Structure 1
Amino acid sequence: MNTIADPTPSTATGAQAPAPLAARPVPRRTGFARDTAAVFVRESRPLVRDPFSVLFSLVQPLVFLGLFGPLLVGAAGGDVAGTLQWFVPGILVMVALFGTASTGANLLFEMQTGSHERTLVAPLSRNALLVGRALKEVVPLMVQGTIVVLVAVPFGFSVNVPGLLLGLVVLAVFGIGFGALSYTLALGCRNRDWMFWMVHQTLLFPLMILSGMLLPLEDGPEWMRVAAAVNPLSYLVGAERALLAGDFGAPAVLGGAIAAVVTCAIGLVVGVRAMRRAR
């Protein structure tokens, strides 16, 4: 007599066989906004646990303010207040530049330790992995910019509070984009951290000098003025000087805002593409 085989597979202990792979539950992805918020919180936790790192990164801008500023005061005939009105906005742009240009080093460290690979396989949007990291750069930038202004006030710097707030917003928009570009560079320099720092140092100081944040470029050679005209930081510096002086209608404000938005858009587009291709 023929027997009919039991269609349900079993083991010697009577346990049921595992469900087919297709039937197993797959982690569901959440929305982009929630993913971005989760990445933002994760990246911000080291700042909360170690706030002194934010203050320590202020050493370089404060050194420029304390040592380079007096030289400018001497060149201006001892006009301390006027020099600070011109110089402090440039220092704020320096804070945004230095603070966001090095953020890719953190991603390099995560890639070397394997932490980044674990985030890539998490049920998170690749776009959110980049955008959340870039948004995190706004927090230390705001804190550091405020501290620089507070340090300069006792020495005669006069600040327009609404202008300061709007100026910090413009710097935050720029910082998001420039931080995203730093992350993109880190992704491209995987396992070659020396290349990251070589590109970092090669670009950082020319951008700073050709922005006019340290010295006026009006009396410089023609080639420097041409280079400054294509440097987004020069427009950002002009906007910060106008905003902190309360001149909201100055053409430089519009130019700086456009430069910040364009930098942010380019950084996020390039960074998101790089993050999507990351393995």
Structure 2
Amino acid sequence: MSAVTIEPVSGGGLKWALADGLTVTKRNMLGMMRTPEIILYGAIQPIMFVLLFSYVFGGAINVPGAPGAKYYREYLMAGIFAQNVLFGLMWTSVGLAEDMQRGIVDRFRSLPMARSAVLTGRALADTALNAFTLLIMILAGLLVGWRVHSSVLEALAGFGLLLLLAFAMCWIGAFIGLSVRDSRTAQSAGMILFPVTFLSNAFVPTQGMPDWLRAIADWNPFTTVVSACRALFGNPNPVGNPGTLPGDHPALVSLGWAVLVLVVFVPLAVRKYRMATSR
């Protein structure tokens, strides 16, 4: 671990916790910059999905109201963006598991720092990494023909929603990383969310699913985020179940899901961290 000096901030309390969290964020981001393979391999998978679905499956999938491979690519990219953000939680789970396994967290405990800083710093650093890989995905999307057909503010709102999802997913990753014994298990555990991306409208419209499965897919948080981003980007966005809350107000439902994840998993991750560091 690179040397990091953390000094208590006069006044303590929230100001101290925020300062310590930003210091740990810097430590984690420096570690990422020294191992660029993390960013490289994190970007390869979504790029492969873009190419695979755009040029292999895209010609065989028609989007209602917008047929053709070109329109499918615009339909696809919001799903790829959200998938990349969702899988970003594995960076958090693996990173925390490695820190626990190597005893780095125990070294943090010996420093005069807020305990919350370890988790906050990890979540913020991984959200920044998600933002960087999202930029790579935007460039890949532009190369295959994806375009934004809305205003700048709407587009920024879409990317902001994706980063909010990234931050929320980091806390699920933190809980997973603190619940397993090593980084390999943490990576495997994170893959349990893989079916969530396919039980959604990320790659195909939900209209072709059986009614009972479509109802589940339409309430899937991943579906609402993807639908909200498509609407904000001005991309093809066939509504799977119009007349319902997630169908008519996907952005509002997505914000609700993000808040719910934070309300549930922030306390769970903090509690798990206290249990793990009190042994």
What band does the TM-score fall into relative to the shorter chain? Answer: 0.7 to 0.9
1:33-78 CA-to-partner distances (Å, cap 9, x unmatched) read 1111111111111223334531321111111110122212333397
Work out the CA distance in 2 between the residues paired with 1:122 and 1:170. Answer: 35
Residue ranges of structure 2 left out of the alignment (5+ in a row): 1-6, 237-247
Larger radius of gyration: 1
Counting only pairs closer than 5 Å after superposition, residues 82-121 of structure 1 correspond to structure 2 as: 82-121=71-110
Aligned counterpart in structure 2 of residue 199 of structure 1, from 185, 189, 210? 189
1:150-203 CA-to-partner distances (Å, cap 9, x unmatched) read 222233221244333222211211111211111111211135x564344322x2
Aligned counterpart in structure 1 of residue 234 of structure 2, from 228, 238, 245? 245
Provide TM-score, normalisation by structure 2.
Answer: 0.80
In structure 1, the partner of 2:30 is: 45
> Alpha carbon RMSD of aligned pairs, Å?
2.4
- Of the structure 1 ranges 269-278 and 60-69, higher mean CA displacement relative to structure 2 is found in 269-278
Aligned counterpart in structure 2 of residue 35 of structure 1, from 20, 25, 34? 20
Q: CA 1:183/1:86 → structure 2, altered by over 3 Å: closer, same or farther?
A: same
In structure 1, the partner of 2:120 is: 131
Aligned counterpart in structure 1 of residue 159 of structure 2, from 148, 155, 168? 168
In structure 2, the partner of 1:8 is: none
Provide TM-score, normalisation by structure 1.
Answer: 0.80
Per the alignment, in what secondary structure is the counterpart of residue 214 of structure 1?
A: coil
Amino acid at match of 1:75: I
Counting only pairs closer than 5 Å after superposition, residues 167-246 of structure 1 correspond to structure 2 as: 167-190=158-181, 193=183, 195-201=185-191, 203-245=192-234
Per the alignment, in what secondary structure is the counterpart of residue 32 of structure 2?
A: helix
Residue ranges of structure 1 left out of the alignment (5+ in a row): 1-26
Q: CA 1:50/1:194 → structure 2, altered by over 3 Å: closer, same or farther?
A: closer
Which segments of structure 1 move beyond 4 Å, counting only runs of 4 or more?
27-30
Work out the CA distance in 2 between the residues paired with 1:164 and 1:276. Answer: 39
Aligned length: 249
Confirm whether residue 257 of structure 1 aligns to residue 246 of structure 2: no
Q: CA 1:41/1:194 → structure 2, altered by over 3 Å: closer, same or farther?
A: closer
Amino acid at match of 1:254: L
In structure 1, the partner of 2:271 is: 273
- Of the structure 1 ranges 80-89 and 256-265, higher mean CA displacement relative to structure 2 is found in 256-265
In structure 2, the partner of 1:72 is: 58
Conservation of the 8 A alpha-carbon contact between 1:76 and 1:83: yes
Work out the CA distance in 1 between the residues paired with 2:144 and 2:184. Answer: 41
Residue 102 of structure 1: CA displacement?
3.8
